[in-house]
Structure 1
Amino acid sequence: MYNFNCRLVPKNYQHVLALVFAVNEVNENPQILPNVTLGFHIHDSYFSERMTYWATLDILSTPYRFVPNYQCGIQNNLMAIIGGLDFETSLHMAAILTGYKIPQLTYGSFAPEDAGQSQSTPFYRMVPNEAHQYTGIVELLLHFGWTWVGLLAADSESGEKFMEILQTLLFQRGICLAFAERTPKGSYFEEYYDMISQWLQTYYMIAESKANAVVVYGEDKSLFFLQIWLVAGEVENVTSMEKVWIMTAQLDFSAVAFRMSQDMQPFHGSICFTVHSNEVQGFKTLLRSLNPFMAGEDGFLQQFWQDTFHCFFSKSSTEFSEPCTGLEKLDSLPSSGFEMSMTGHSYSIYNAVYVVAHALHAMFQSWLKDRGIVRRWRPHLQKLQPWQLHPFLRSVSFNNSAGEEVSFSEKREFEAGFDITNLVTFPNNSFIRMKVGWMNLDAPPGKEFSINEDKMVWHRSFHQVPPLSQCNKKCPSGTRRKKKEGEKFCCYDCAPCSEGKISYQKDMNDCVGCSEDHYPNRNQTQCVPKSISFLTLEEPLGMSLAFGSVFSSLLTILSLAIFMKHQDTPIVRANNRDLTYVLLLSLLLCFLCPLIFLSRPDRVTCLVRQMAFGMVFTVTVSCVLAKTITVVLAFMATKPGSRMRKWVGKRLTSAIVLTCTIIQAGICTVWLGTSPPFPHFDKHSVRGEIILECNEGSAAMFYCVLGYMGLLATVSFVVAFLARKLPDSFNEAKFITFSMLLFCSVWISFVPVYLSSKGKHMVAVEIFSILASSAGLLGSIFFPKCYIIILRPDLNDKQQLIKKK
């Protein structure tokens, strides 16, 4: 053993005890390496490159003679080296050990992801792949919604690599760095006051940042200086800085004795990634049984005892006032000085000893299989070379005393993940690590990352838990992120979603459109199913139109009944009785047509309603036209010598009605044969509704039907207008003129109103036009006659009809 006059780090003494405990277990186990005893030497790097190289060369020299690469006298069978604690120390050691091909089992270093370096260095990493830790940090930040974070990394090669990889991962997952600072280099044996100004400059910058989550990366000594830094901030009356410190597995609270009382409260609620560990049976019993007066060959124990309990031994210096009694208990020490539970680093050392033991056992078993004689082992032990152990180390696989499998991956990395622990501190500067989750990429899909928020303890200063760590508040639902010019993408404004789009989650980059059968609600936070809309009898508008249709139909039937009852009176006979009946029947069908429009549009109703409307109205208008022409011809036929008499009669009126109807039937047939109407769901015209309507198929053919009816009405109007000055007592030209004027006015107004309407209102406009124009014909032509027949029978006389003004 080598004991330089330097202060011991009490926390790291557990690493030594874990090594001793494991070696003793192996030596006492008859199932592993029978008749072979494992030994060890302990060397310290003192966090110094010079001392690391010196210690490594000393391992390769004859004991107590520093002659590198030369051994004589008592031979030490050096088979493997466990260490170092940090990455730089491991690399410095590997620079010498690589040439000797001596296996190096690192228990605290996390080598960068460099395949070339992985092949050139003889590392067997007793820690998981650091990629697991990178992924775990990102998943942790995303889990709590921390998108504006800070990063502190050690000013070293591993710190630079960590910062480079993590920044890339954070950017890919939408997380921004509020700051990325490198912590100053230093060692436990340098005066830290020289670095206070540099630390405080960084402290002010972080204290003013909105980032409440700070990722800290470094080696063991980095956290020591971070503690000093926080305490220095309090001393300089800097505003108290409460952050969620997210610490990597390389960090540990390793305080030297004179700093064991340092305040731990700033780290309360911190989240730490730690190398996976488990309780090893018998280890706590060993810790409780330690007695400095029975140290034996342990040259560290008395120094550890006096530094941690502030006492002295009789042969030691009188730096402390109280003598050591040996009754002091490790349980009474704060966790920052010594932990009773086996730490991740100690657990890795414990496993490393067993890895070497099982590899040696496998190699001896291989020899036994080849030679078959156990006593031949010993001559070979002196000739055993470290490089012969490599094949057995790569394939080693066993269950340790904690029941966990220990093996290496193809990259010579320990196949395990990281524990996520929550740090709970106490006023006496002690703390406990509460396991709240884990990160293991080798776990089944979907279970690689897990954390239990219910177990989390947060810093007492946070008013909201979990605390926020964002550049600005999240955009609420119904809005989207809007980039701020000149700022990082995590700093943004919130803009309302454009019309027709929603954002159903907070902080959405873009609003999304609803499907065709949904529409945004008023707050534009979710899509609501559209209701299917069509004009029905159940709603007030439909009921009103249906009532108008039925009422007008009853009036038409009443008029027809009156005319049929008084069919032999002069006024009925004088108006072409048969043509009048046809006109009244066609008007009755016109009034009943809207009932087809008030049913649910389907394939049959869409085909029937426009065709029926076109044909019935054509018959009606052609009857009016025939009646008008008949009136004019009848008047002209009364003149002496007129040739018009032969045209006056039923044959002419029938020909007019049939001819006009057949032409309209031809137009409808072409319409049906080329592009017939069909039911259609209009999902865009009206917000919140899917309009079930009849698509006319060919708009041109629809307007041809209307245009043809308009042509007949115009001809009838013109003829009636020209005959309006005929004697009132003889003809009805004035009534026909007025009825055609109403008819044309209604349908001329119909076109623009129909085109500007949507949904059920478009159907309502057409129904209203049908009822209004039909009512105009019924009222203008038949109500005056019904008035005479019912109320003025004295005027229903032949003499009255033929007398002249």
Structure 2
Amino acid sequence: MSVSSKILHLSLLWLGVFTLTSCQGEAEQCEMIPGSMSLPVLEKKGDITLGGLFSLHDMVIEPSLSFTLTPPPTQCTRFNFRTFRWMQTMIFAIEEINREGKLLPNITLGYKIYDSCSTPHQALKAAMELMGSKGDPGTGGDVQDEGICHGAVPVVIGDGGSTQSLVVARFLGVFYVPQVSYFSSCACLSDKKEFPGFLRTMPSDFFQVDALVQLVKHFGWTWVGVIAGDDAYGRGGANIFADKVRTLGACVALHEIIPKNGAQTAIKTIISKIRSSKARVILVFAVEQDAETLFDGVLRHGLMGIQWLASEAWSTAAVLSTPKKYHRILQGSMGFAIRRAHIPGLQNFLLRLHPSYPDAHKDPFLTPFWEEVFQCSLGVQVEGQEQRKAPCSGEEELGSVKNIYSDVSQLRISYNVYKAVYAIAHALKAMRNCEKGNGPFPQQACPDVDSIQNWQLLHYIKQVDYLNSFGDEIKFDENGDPAAMYDLVNWQLNSNEEVEFVTIGKFDEITTAGKQKLQIQARNIVWNGNLTEVPLSVCSSICPPGTRKAIRLNFPICCHDCVVYAIECVRCLPEFWSSADRTVCIPKKVEFLSFSDTMGITLMAISLFGSFCTCVVVFIFTWHRNTPVVRANNSDLSFLLLFSLTLCFLCSLTFIGRPSEWSCMLRHTAFGITFVLCISCILGKTIVVLMAFRATLPGSTVMKWFGPAQQKAIIASCTLIQVIICTVWLVVAPPTPRQLMPRESAIVILLCEEGSAVAFALVLGYIGLLACICLLLAFLARKLPDNFNEARLITFSMLIFCAVWVAFVPAYISSPGKYSTVTEVFAILASSYGLLGCIFAPKCYIILLRPEKNTRKHLMSKPTDKF
């Protein structure tokens, strides 16, 4: 909103507050400001009176003020049939509720309706009269609230325009009077700190803009123009749209404002900018009156071939769709419209109006409506005064005339009015049904239904939540907004050259999981110019082969020039790298852990040396196989453990060399199985050591359950589980070779991808589980009273093993390229050397260098020293 608009709104607000608070004296009734005149009002008495604000006229004729005489009454012009239908819908809903008597039994609703004439000043004057005009204080829902005059209504329905609602909402919000708007969609009105009493049955522009942005994204438009009306609705919505559409990478070709005074110079400038921008898609975010001003200028200057996008304010406006003069420029237009409904009985209710029907003389809006529809005069001709219209014959019937007033095929805003009335009725019902001692107010108090307090009614309207007869859920969110649901309508001409609003999609802000908010039936769309192909709206076309993009200075990023290459360039394939002078594509260097590079040779040497050391230990144990050290704790398990350690050293060689399908499958499975076999042997030895001590207790027979056969069964069972895991891994998602070819890098990295991260984690996890169990058992047996306690050696070996593999996980994840493979090989070799050194080095030391300790007597005696 502009600064001048804010100043005007604040000035009007303080004027209204001053006027109302002046009624708090001793007088029983409110007095109007001296010199002011009451506005025309349509009212009907009831137990509870609902206020209504409708812009029945599109503009006000500003009088020339002399400041010496009383200003003349405000003169509103350009009667709006569409808004008059909305007003009649409010009366229809009230009378329907009164007639059925189900919602509010023994209670009648009345109404008090004013014309706001599409201007903030007139809307505020009407709101002031709703809050405390002259009249009988005993009628129309007398309210005795502090700061509110006699005769004030407890709730107001309206206004239509966002600009009028901003002024009215600030005024009514001071007194927490609930206001339910049917057509104000400005996102600014969702601010509950500034507008505490404002609610609406019209979705916020925030959701409409979201739908429009999704539409632009769906059709791939990157160069879109935005034209807004000069009011809170137009400026606010257009600004949100421009900000959001830029986040998609699209650009705003132009952003213009339609002047309220319809200045032809400004309109001509807008048309000129549309032509120069070359944008094919233009969004007009404005009310129907401003849109009409723009399209009159479009016709006058012959602008054709534009795909117009409509905001919901004019997406189904009859003032633009009915006159055939607009068909050639607006045919194919599309926009979002709120949901429509068929209200039974409404059309007959609309057609009941006639100057001769009872109480017609009390309706100040019937005469201008009737005279505008039939272009005749209901007034008495004064002699000597020129009669502009012929007198009405009295035989005119609304049913014989086809216009927007009696057209009930597009009941969208009318449906909003209908929902607003019923929402208030449901709130009043909830107030009357409040159970004493179980109310929503302090000390669980219920409201006094005989003296309605504004803030209490506001609370109940906010809590409204019900399913109406049309199957729609009626409720308000924390901002007073309803759920956003729109129909995407397309303006298509039928065989009679009349515009039909064809629904080609929908937008639902609240969608179920897996569904898109925006759904479009593209095959049903007819574009501007009766085309079936999506119009292209870009600042610059895609550059043809042999040219490149050149950014235009001081232009949006969507605009570029196509410049011919000095030399024809071809992008290199991912396997190749451009030469330094950009003249040829050369193959990238292939990187993997090979037998020829220094790292591969070093790891291979360490692996073979480990295997050789293991073979030396096997030779020593074989040569001294009958000695106590070798025979202690099952020599068969020791030889099986040495065999598995040899395989552990050798399996690291499978990680070196160019990855292939077979090497990738072999390296991970061989590693997993050999290490489980190794740990299983150590686990068997640990269990035997622990049970052997328990077997020395008198009467113990535990060793018969842990004989050689049982030990082999433990090893076979533990290894079989790993074999099954690896087999499933290879069948379901085996490791496969993979090439990493980043364009910014001069190398191609060859590596083995695990295939299944879950399976790889299971293999490592199972090894870790066995190692932890083995460590725990060895730790428990570390202090058994033997001079040569193998459990102590196993504890040290398992500590080293676990430390290596705990450190391996983060190092493996963070290592780039071939270094992840190097990390894995290093972990295999380090843990293998740890097992070999901790378990077998002390035994070889005794066998070779301290043969005097290699006796049964020494091994079974109590320890005198510690290793």
* TM-score normalised by length of structure 1: 0.54
Corresponding residue of 2:467: 399
Q: C-alpha distance in 2, partners of 1:7/1:486?
A: 45
Q: C-alpha distance in 1, partners of 2:569/2:188?
A: 43
Q: C-alpha distance in 2, partners of 1:680/1:58?
A: 82
8 Å CA contact 1:218–1:251 kept in 2: the answer is yes
Q: Which runs of 5+ in 2 are unaligned?
A: 1-39, 43-74, 382-386, 440-446, 578-659, 664-735, 742-747, 751-867
Q: 1:21 to 1:115 in 2, by over 3 A?
A: closer
Corresponding residue of 2:407: 339
- TM-superposed CA distance for 1:9, in Å, is 0.9
8 Å CA contact 1:247–1:273 kept in 2: the answer is yes
8 Å CA contact 1:295–1:301 kept in 2: the answer is no
Matched, 1:310 2:349: no
Which of 185, 210, 218 in structure 1 is aligned with 2:260? 185
Which of 109, 120, 123 in structure 1 is aligned with 2:198? 123
Which of 97, 116, 126 in structure 2 is aligned with 1:45? 116
8 Å CA contact 2:133–2:152 kept in 1: the answer is no
Q: C-alpha distance in 1, partners of 2:453/2:339?
A: 32
Corresponding residue of 2:520: 451
Amino acid at match of 1:49: P
Pairs within 5 Å for 1:576-655: none
Q: 1:293 to 1:321 in 2, by over 3 A?
A: closer
Q: 1:400 to 1:683 in 2, by over 3 A?
A: closer
- TM-superposed CA distance for 1:179, in Å, is 0.8
Which of 339, 344, 352 in structure 2 is aligned with 1:276? 339
Matched, 1:139 2:214: yes
8 Å CA contact 1:212–1:468 kept in 2: the answer is yes
Amino acid at match of 1:274: A
8 Å CA contact 1:242–1:461 kept in 2: the answer is no
8 Å CA contact 1:132–1:441 kept in 2: the answer is yes
Pairs within 5 Å for 1:422-501: 422-425=490-493, 431-445=499-513, 446-460=515-529, 462=531, 465-474=533-542, 483-493=551-561, 498-501=570-573
Q: C-alpha distance in 2, partners of 1:332/1:252?
A: 20
Q: 1:5 to 1:489 in 2, by over 3 A?
A: closer
Pairs within 5 Å for 1:790-801: none
Pairs within 5 Å for 1:655-694: none
Amino acid at match of 2:115: D
- TM-superposed CA distance for 1:263, in Å, is 3.7
Q: C-alpha distance in 1, partners of 2:560/2:340?
A: 42
Amino acid at match of 1:276: R
Q: Percent identity?
A: 25
Q: 1:218 to 1:330 in 2, by over 3 A?
A: farther
RMSD: 4.1
8 Å CA contact 1:421–1:436 kept in 2: the answer is yes
Q: Paired residues, what number?
A: 492
Amino acid at match of 1:434: V
8 Å CA contact 2:200–2:480 kept in 1: the answer is yes
Matched, 1:85 2:160: yes
Q: 1:115 to 1:85 in 2, by over 3 A?
A: closer
Amino acid at match of 2:395: T
Corresponding residue of 2:94: 23
8 Å CA contact 2:316–2:501 kept in 1: the answer is no
Q: Which has the higher contact order (CA 8 A, sep 6+)?
A: 1
Q: 1:149 to 1:289 in 2, by over 3 A?
A: same
Q: C-alpha distance in 1, partners of 2:546/2:273?
A: 35
Cα distance per residue 1:498-551 (max 9 Å; x no partner): 4235xxxxxxxxxxx5899xxxxxxxxxxxxxxxxxxxxxxxxxxxxxxxxxxx
Q: C-alpha distance in 2, partners of 1:265/1:89?
A: 33
8 Å CA contact 1:11–1:339 kept in 2: the answer is no
Q: 1:444 to 1:480 in 2, by over 3 A?
A: farther
8 Å CA contact 1:118–1:411 kept in 2: the answer is no
Which of 247, 255, 269 in structure 2 is aligned with 1:172? 247
> Which of 290-299 and 153-162 deviates more?
290-299
Q: C-alpha distance in 2, partners of 1:45/1:449?
A: 36
Q: C-alpha distance in 1, partners of 2:325/2:390?
A: 19
Q: 1:491 to 1:382 in 2, by over 3 A?
A: same
8 Å CA contact 2:192–2:479 kept in 1: the answer is no
Which of 212, 228, 245 in structure 1 is aligned with 2:296? 228
- TM-superposed CA distance for 1:343, in Å, is 3.2
Q: 1:442 to 1:281 in 2, by over 3 A?
A: same
Q: 1:155 to 1:107 in 2, by over 3 A?
A: same
- Highest Rg: 1 or 2? 1
Q: C-alpha distance in 2, partners of 1:276/1:76?
A: 36
Pairs within 5 Å for 1:147-158: 147-158=222-233
Q: 1:474 to 1:132 in 2, by over 3 A?
A: farther
Q: 1:307 to 1:602 in 2, by over 3 A?
A: closer
8 Å CA contact 1:408–1:415 kept in 2: the answer is yes
Cα distance per residue 1:69-119 (max 9 Å; x no partner): x999x9646121111111110111122211211001111112335775555
Q: 1:147 to 1:370 in 2, by over 3 A?
A: closer
Q: C-alpha distance in 1, partners of 2:231/2:391?
A: 41
Q: C-alpha distance in 1, partners of 2:575/2:96?
A: 67
Q: Which runs of 5+ in 1 are unaligned?
A: 187-191, 234-238, 372-378, 502-512, 517-599, 604-678, 685-689, 693-805
Which of 396, 400, 403 in structure 2 is aligned with 1:326? 396
Q: C-alpha distance in 2, partners of 1:497/1:394?
A: 65
Amino acid at match of 1:61: G
8 Å CA contact 2:203–2:481 kept in 1: the answer is yes
